[in-house]
Structure 1
């Protein structure tokens, strides 16, 4: 199917998404068996000995702060291709970090892999010794874009998710709905807008950095004057938006798209001012007793095949060979188009505390 670029479009519509659904690139069924190399789409994912040991281990426990629906798609895809089963434990990133640190301190960390957003969260986990180095195959390491590998391979950026806003299309018509960030300050949306508190994780920290840097502190004050409803997580906000409890809400595109595929009447805005992009990091834990399976998972996740799945869910891939993100038959702007606002890890950490304080002061939020 020919893809449509997003340039010139204000919204990703519910109708287009439902008709097209979520289709990743055609994937080969893995025919590799124990004793053979695991090769998918022409890329070496694991040498024969690593793959054989991974099959013996048989399963993984995957702690994640990303959308449960999209992560289940990842787990199902990986299991289908490799024969290795994945158990998902999903929590909001700030809660996930608390659990990982607590379990790690007690010597009872149950995860083989952790995926989480938030520069402060991932750095704290790394400094606590949560992660161990994962060896990438030459095929995978040579195909990644710059800036993906951290701490000598103890954790990796696995994709960039984009944070925009959406509206309930059963409550608001397209003509009534806001199209750009500036529109959200209109008093007609007073009490009908929802947002997630700044401390929920890397996503909200990235969104706040984008808003303060690109839209300005006065814009944020105008939003606060409209008395928005504040949520603890994007998942809770997305549920409320789908039920019509709020008309409009800030949403990560991947999270909203997963909800749309489940039937939620949400339309995602593509504002002219751009949107915040933020990485989800992934690493294998030092506590893992299934290190071969974890190694196979990370190599596949960063492969062209694994990144094609990320792209099909609206996330910007980290593999040079993967296509631009798509949602249904709509293609998002290219990574270098300027639409996706990215702060570096260093810049994010530098502004983290001051941005959070500014946000909490503006919204009179005490947690």
Structure 2
């Protein structure tokens, strides 16, 4: 079947539906990030323990990715994505009613499991349905939903928590997810180029092994690990940093700091289109370099300069993720669902591991320790981007269509 072209009504429906579904998933995934100090106070736990409310969801999401991609190769894209968005909202409402940290973590673990139904499946859906010349732009718009979801979730969470506590914040995001799920189910066009494949354990193992044979794909998986790990590490602990003296920001003001996610919304679409024009390898290296520069600026003392550094950091991260994720979808010749699942497995493992390990640097060295840890991750990612450029030499084509 013909692929969907940019400018058509189908293209608009696809990009808007996936944009809204990504918004609801990522609002739910990071709903606790700006209110970690409130969780510490309410449950009597240290920052590294409170960060588990983020890491538990991301690690279960990472594990679930390993199964969801191949399952979607068998059962179809849209049904898996619809169930994922709907269940995320329902479990979020349950999480808001828990009275102890252990049960709360369990609901977060369950949320991560069902959330995984969207990201790997959405990437495979786009790779199958969108014309390759416009895939970077479409993927960029989808990633924009990620950034706006993170932005909206954090702003709503911080603002609602100021009046109704963290429980009210989690419940509010659950309601938003349910509304987005209903619209998504109605609006997303069914797959036209999907071909169901039998779901067999042997095939599952074969698909996953096939997705790691390519050294370029392996490099991109590790880029996702480093970039996402650095991103979650910064945003997990910036709330502790800015809610303490000398800044002493409130939970509501801390939520609005995440307005910086708008930089990511802009960069994911922009860098996706630039990668279509100038090549993925140079744009990936540029994005990671911007992210590293932003982390360095965030060490500054003045609040406005620090916020500017976080904005630059956010711009770089979403550009890098948009490019790397679309590159995985384009590079994988077969079993695109498995390849996307492996990318997102390493991506969310980075969030889970680095997001918690950074807490040890926070307790030992404070904010400079967190930034130093992030710098090490990003320096490694830049090296991997250089390797990816070498491995892709002579295989990339760029679009001349604006």
The answer to which structure has the higher strand fraction is 1
TM tier, smaller: under 0.3
Calculate the TM-score normalised by the size of structure 2.
0.23
Calculate the TM-score normalised by the size of structure 1.
0.25
The answer to which structure has the higher helix fraction is 2
